[in-house]
Amino acid sequence: MVVCASHSPLMHGRSDVGQVFRAGLDRVREDVRRFGPELVVFFGPDHRRAFTDTVPAITVVESAHGYGDWGTVEEAYRVPSDHARSLATALMAARFDVAVANRLPLDHGFGQTATQLFGSLSAVPILPVVINCVARPLPGLARVADLGRAVDAHVRTIGCRVLYVASGGLSHAPPSLAPTVQTLSEEQRRRLIETGLAAAAERIAPDWDERFLRLLGTGDLDQLARMDDDDIEVAGNGAHEVRTWVAAAAAGGVPVPTVAYEPVPEWITGMAVASAHG
């Protein structure tokens, strides 16, 4: 099974908007409950919290906890460290140069969607894979698609019921992800986003979002893989997080149709959830 979902830190405390997205997420959460995953492989981004000066292209996480930003929880993830180590070894053998991290603080790019789907960070075994979506040079979409396929090839040897999750995107351009911004306190991040809210809301690109979702829904990863950084940047610096969606879709090996989509200016993001049973 594959689930891809947008996140936005501005969702916290704003239950009056985004009802289409929320309803879609509710439907997917029930599908996940019925599926009953034995292992969740979670592809997500980092927003220059865990990684600041040095940003690996791909990181397999052996142990992690919630960063606690924007109202997200700080509890420990239930990471199956033996599976994480074996995955990292398999990816290296498949010619992916991966970093391996312990005690990694994962921010809302993981914690928000994980909590929405499972209720807590420790409810199910989660194996986080961090993809660099913010610090150029970025791994290309073809590369992250190959990453997803390599992850699935290894997970199949484990022999468990696996759920692939991606969190990120779609179109958005938060000022806190500007290339000139690297290390900020949480208060500085909040002020920067809140003061630039109106300008950031104007960067939502529904046409771009819908084209991306259409290709994902038809399973046309080859066409998606031909998109370069400039093709993505037109939808905002935060749109680079769709790398996580491409990795999860490739891992699942099936088209991933849209469950719900709506632009939410209050969250400065084109919000979508997509899901498929493999």
List the end-to-end C-alpha distance of the chain, in Å, as a whole number: 5
Q: Is 65 a catalytic residue?
A: no
The DSSP output letter for 269 is E
- Residue pair 87/61 in contact (Cβ under 8 Å)? The answer is no
Please state, in angstroms and rounded to a whole number, the distance separating the CA atoms of residues 104 and 228: 29
Q: Is 108 a catalytic residue?
A: yes
Quote helix, strand, coil % in the chain, to nearest 5: 45, 20, 35
Name the active-site residue from 65, 154, 172, 240: 172
The DSSP output letter for 251 is H
Q: In a 10 Å sphere around its CB, with 0-12 CB exposed, 13-18 middle and 19+ buried, how is residue 23 labelled?
A: middle
User: Which of 155, 78, 163, 72 minimizes the C-alpha distance to 111?
Assistant: 72
The DSSP output letter for 218 is H
Name the active-site residue from 7, 65, 83, 108: 108
Residues identified as active-site? 108, 172
